[in-house]
Structure 1
Amino acid sequence: MKKTMMSDLSDQRRQFLRNALTVAGIGLVLGSASPRRLLAEALSAKAGPSTPGLGALFAGDFKVGTALSNTTLLAQNPELEALVSREFSAITAENAMKWEEVHPQADTWDWQRADHFVDFGHRKQMYTIGHTLVWHSQIPESVFVDTHGRLRKRGEIVRAMETHIGTLAGRYRGKIQAWDVVNEAVTDDGQWRKSLWYNTLGDSYFSRAFHLAREADPGAELLYNDYSMHLPAKRDGVIDKIAKLRKQGMPIHGVGMQAHVHLDDPAISELEASIEAIAAVGLDVHITELDVDVLPKAYDYMGAEISTNFAYSEELNPFPEQLPEKLVDELAARYESLFKLFLKHRDKVRRVSLWGTTDAESWKNDWPVVGRTNYPLIFDREGEPKKAYYAVAGLKGGASSG
């Protein structure tokens, strides 16, 4: 069961909070004020200017970001929000802006989490990424199928896309710096994914989504986002398809490489080849969903197809309590090598975003095996920096682990 960061406040942090509130003259009875926001701001001040976070350390190279979970966006985790605002310069909505979450029915919109996300980014002056406008997954079936179970007509599906993008991107016009416009539309062999989008609209849905996003928010950067982008066939397929559509006038600024990697693959050279190839055609590179899986592989390919699930077994969940020190060191070395690569190509890489902030909230705990415990990020379950954090920060002369 995932814990909230509030349940794990140490005595030292509790004392810090009491002192901070006392100094600020804030009573414990706050009336109509927001105690969670005051808590987050007090905790955010803890680090002080002498301990710059990763966003500040890498400010001259690229944005460093994280994804905010629905738990955080419901304002139930002020300490984590404080950690995010201290350490990162970019944020992505992990789930709050996906179709089924924000637009579950044709005439229903749920703005609570998305509004909180955008407000948080605005208040903290962070590079804010909307994720994602068009995807084959996490979308209501009713977009494609009517109440009688029949596939909707092409025109109805186009209008559904137009309404969705116009309403969602339009609501946050000028407040979102970048949108993942289309997500995961190409298979690992470089072909169009035969999704309901493609099967009903053909490849025109792809370019239509980008045009609609540009109409809704002319100032936002527009991105295509996908996993396994280190695979040459997939990378080349994506580049070729985008090149064709750009010649026809499709607006696009960059490509997101999700980078859900493992301790030992893909090779750094494979990632580098894709960074160089994407940049060579005039597109920005965004590392969009970085995490490092430390558990045994339950599949024979690297990827993030969320429909894939495997049965739980102790062999696939070997570290339910803590990660062995050997793997702690390997994780740190892997993150260090990845960020060395990104620094080498700082002229091509615009942003590096981890897919989550702490191990407690990582989606890798339950995918592709429900119930197992993973350790893929640079902050542990209590929000404390791991060796991996210090390895990354150390590349810019940042904090030492002592």
Structure 2
Amino acid sequence: MVNEAIEGDGSWRKTKFYSIIGEEYIKLAFQFAHEADPEAELYYNDYSMTSPAKRDAVVKLVKDLKEEGLRIDAIGMQGHCSLNKPTVDDFEESIKIYSAAGVKVMITELDVTTIPNPFDMHGADVANRFEYSKEMDPYKEGLPEQVDSALQKKYLDLFMVFLKHQDKISRVTLWGLNDAQSWRNNWPIHGRTDYPLLFDRKNKAKPVVEAIIEAAGNMRLQN
């Protein structure tokens, strides 16, 4: 229903809606949507959702909407990750905190970048852009084995958390089909070669896909 309305420090993003209407615009959006279709599920979606300041602000938003008697069904946690950040532990803790606020959790826009991040910048603000340099595009000819192994591990660790908390998570969606189509190749530096998805540039599943399927099957047997 509302997307990316809160900054990383927990403050309101100064969107046109905010500038014209003020903080009330989010409540009005949820109210009007529910009035238009009482059966529709309504979600709030944002990036950097493991950031403590943003997380606290989103939890407060959920509670405020509920106190107003407004419908909000789920929180969408955009999963734009790197090999190091957010940590899997931070991701898991955030899932539990959002679920405790009384909403479902959706993992949205999942991908894991493997290439350098200028100025250690995280999140997904598409307004951030930097000049191309070879140093920031080190894997034109393919991922080194060590980096590829780290990518596979990050994905498997994330999905193990998703499976563990499947009672809280209603769906997991990736941001793109294969590596060639990913926005990561062009953000925040245009023209780089990244490998952030579960299918390579020839639409071939990466080894971790089989590992994820096997883990899901094992969990079903255990349950």
SS in 2 for 1:311: coil
Aligned to 2:24: 204
SS in 1 for 2:118: coil
Given that 1:320 and 1:372 are in contact with CA atoms closer than 8 Å, whether structure 2 keeps it comes out as yes
The structure 1 residue matched to 2:7, chosen from 158, 165, 187, is 187
Segment of structure 1 superposing worse, 277-286 or 216-225: 216-225
Letter in 1 for 2:102: G
Summarize the alignment of residues 274-353 of structure 1 with structure 2, pairs less than 5 Å apart: 274-353=94-173
Letter in 2 for 1:227: Y
Letter in 1 for 2:160: K
The separation in 2 between residues aligned to 1:372 and 1:198, in whole angstroms, is 34
| TM-score normalised to structure 1 length | 0.53
Aligned to 1:357: 177
Letter in 1 for 2:98: I
SS in 2 for 1:315: helix
| Percent of paired sites with the same residue | 47
Aligned to 2:72: 252
Cα distance per residue 1:248-290 (max 9 Å; x no partner) = 1221101000010111121111111111111111110000111
The separation in 2 between residues aligned to 1:381 and 1:310, in whole angstroms, is 24
Listed as ranges, the gaps of 5+ residues in structure 2 are 219-223
In 2 relative to 1, CA 347–321 (structure 1 residues): closer, same or farther, beyond 3 Å?
A: same
1:332 offset after TM fit, Å?
A: 0.8
The separation in 2 between residues aligned to 1:265 and 1:245, in whole angstroms, is 30
Letter in 2 for 1:233: A
In 2 relative to 1, CA 299–392 (structure 1 residues): closer, same or farther, beyond 3 Å?
A: farther
Given that 2:65 and 2:72 are in contact with CA atoms closer than 8 Å, whether structure 1 keeps it comes out as no
Listed as ranges, the gaps of 5+ residues in structure 1 are 1-180
The structure 1 residue matched to 2:216, chosen from 396, 399, 402, is 396
The separation in 1 between residues aligned to 2:129 and 2:208, in whole angstroms, is 28
| TM-score normalised to structure 2 length | 0.93
The separation in 1 between residues aligned to 2:193 and 2:83, in whole angstroms, is 16
Count, aligned residues: 218
Calculate the aligned-residue CA RMSD, in Å.
Answer: 1.4
Greater radius of gyration (CA): 1
Given that 1:228 and 1:303 are in contact with CA atoms closer than 8 Å, whether structure 2 keeps it comes out as yes
Summarize the alignment of residues 211-290 of structure 1 with structure 2, pairs less than 5 Å apart: 211-290=31-110
SS in 1 for 2:195: coil
The structure 2 residue matched to 1:386, chosen from 206, 211, 215, is 206
Cα distance per residue 1:28-55 (max 9 Å; x no partner) = xxxxxxxxxxxxxxxxxxxxxxxxxxxx
In 2 relative to 1, CA 378–233 (structure 1 residues): closer, same or farther, beyond 3 Å?
A: same
Determine if the alignment matches structure 1 residue 375 to structure 2 residue 195: yes
The separation in 1 between residues aligned to 2:36 and 2:126, in whole angstroms, is 29
Aligned to 2:221: none
1:301 offset after TM fit, Å?
A: 3.2
